[in-house]
């Protein structure tokens, strides 16, 4: 086992940020960590890295106890933070070299590794420019390069695609998949369910400081197999109607995304007529029942929607 988080509790004053949080990661896995704002994802990550002390429970990384002082653990983790941390006044190459030197790499291996990493992040031709001349997506790619420079055994990426352009986003997803094919162990947090679906070999769903479910995508979907998913598109949607739908006795969950209601009902319950009645004045456009996906798993298990809360 590469990482073992056992029943960890972390409080910030009266806030219980991690509530008996447990997770296990094997070498070579790509773990998708999903959770709404404030679920505790960053706190979990920072505890794993040893940046914040935990109150109870235990964390073992590379078979060593994480007590916050173990430099060997820190040296073998590559951490891509939510905020981009690079030096705007130094060239891309100097940024990579600087981070490599922090990890104690020697000059020759730094020079070789910079070329390798530049290829992975697609910045070969721009390494001698300063990041102040880069686009947001290129800055993010350099930032990820700085976290990969020392060939870490565990790569942790905390929402690496927030606030960047779609091309850079798909580029990042492609190289995360490539890192996975090359055998890297990765923990990837995101608000974008489709990103987690695309890259993760196993998924943890976190809510209120606790891992409420984990498994491969088919395993998670099997957990909600008894439910049906109805999507209703209307011309004018409203929170009031969402509330009315939620109050129907046979409805499990309702989410509203743009002009589309996503409704979870237990299989075999004839509830469609009641739904149509509630939404009839809103101008029905389409009604679909569909196969569940990860978004439906998330909605069913947490009663929440990730997308509503995305800031970008």
Ligand X SMILES: Nc1ncnc2c1ncn2[C@@H]1O[C@H](COP(=O)(O)OP(=O)(O)OP(=O)(O)O)[C@@H](O)[C@H]1O
In the complex, the smallest distance separating the C-beta of residue 50 from ligand X, rounded to whole angstroms, is 15
Helix/strand/coil (H/E/C) assignment for every residue in 106-138: CHHHHHHHHHHHHHHHCCHHHCCCCHHHCCHHH
In the complex, the smallest distance separating the C-beta of residue 15 from ligand X, rounded to whole angstroms, is 5
Nearer to ligand X (CB atom), residue 52 or residue 269: 52
d(CA 198, CA 188): 11
Q: How many CA atoms lie within 13 A of 193 on its CB side?
A: 18
In the complex, the smallest distance separating the C-beta of residue 275 from ligand X, rounded to whole angstroms, is 31
Nearer to ligand X (CB atom), residue 12 or residue 266: 12
Nearer to ligand X (CB atom), residue 43 or residue 300: 43
In the complex, the smallest distance separating the C-beta of residue 209 from ligand X, rounded to whole angstroms, is 7
Distances (CA, A) of 108 to 36, 113, 147, 153: 43, 9, 19, 21
Nearer to ligand X (CB atom), residue 95 or residue 143: 143
Tell me the Ramachandran region of residue 39: left when phi exceeds 0, alpha when psi lies from -120 to 50, beta otherwise: alpha
CB 305 within 8 A of CB 242: no
Q: Which residues bind ligand X (CB under 6 A)?
A: 12, 15, 17, 35, 37-43
Distances (CA, A) of 6 to 71, 74, 290: 21, 19, 37
In the complex, the smallest distance separating the C-beta of residue 42 from ligand X, rounded to whole angstroms, is 3
In the complex, the smallest distance separating the C-beta of residue 83 from ligand X, rounded to whole angstroms, is 11
d(CA 301, CA 297): 6
Nearer to ligand X (CB atom), residue 34 or residue 279: 34
CB 25 within 8 A of CB 31: yes
Could you say which DSSP state residue 93 is in? Answer: H
Nearer to ligand X (CB atom), residue 27 or residue 309: 309
């Amino acid at each position: 086992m590469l990482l073992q988080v056992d029943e960890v509790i972390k409080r910030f004053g009266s806030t219980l940020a991690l509530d008996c949080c447990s997770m296990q990661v094997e070498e070579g896995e790509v773990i998708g960590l999903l959770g709404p704002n404030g679920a505790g994802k960053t706190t979990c990550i920072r505890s794993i890295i040893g940046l914040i002390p935990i109150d109870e429970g235990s964390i073992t990384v590379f078979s060593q106890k994480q007590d916050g002082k173990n430099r060997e653990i820190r040296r073998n983790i590559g951490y891509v933070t939510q905020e981009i941390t690079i030096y705007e006044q130094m060239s891309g190459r100097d940024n990579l070299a600087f981070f490599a030197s922090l990890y104690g790499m020697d000059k020759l291996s730094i020079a070789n590794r910079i070329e390798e990493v530049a290829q992975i992040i697609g910045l070969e031709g721009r390494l001698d420019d300063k990041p102040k001349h880069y686009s947001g997506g290129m800055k993010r790619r350099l930032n990820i390069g700085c976290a990969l420079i020392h060939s870490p055994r565990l790569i942790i990426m905390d929402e690496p695609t927030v606030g960047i352009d779609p091309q850079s986003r798909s580029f990042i997803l492609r190289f995360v998949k490539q890192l996975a094919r090359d055998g890297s162990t990765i923990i990837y947090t995101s608000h974008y369910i489709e990103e987690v679906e695309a890259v993760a070999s196993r998924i943890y769903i976190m809510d209120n400081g606790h891992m409420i479910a984990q498994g491969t995508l088919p395993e998670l979907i099997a957990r909600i197999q008894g439910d049906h998913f109805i999507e209703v598109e209307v011309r004018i949607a409203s929170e009031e109607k969402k509330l009315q739908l939620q109050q129907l006795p046979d409805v499990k969950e309702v989410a509203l995304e743009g002009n589309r209601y996503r409704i979870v009902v237990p299989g075999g319950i004839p509830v469609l007529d009641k739904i149509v009645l509630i939404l009839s004045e809103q101008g029905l456009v389409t009604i679909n029942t569909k196969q569940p996906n990860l978004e439906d798993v998330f909605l069913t298990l947490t009663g929440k929607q990730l997308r509503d809360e995305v800031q970008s």
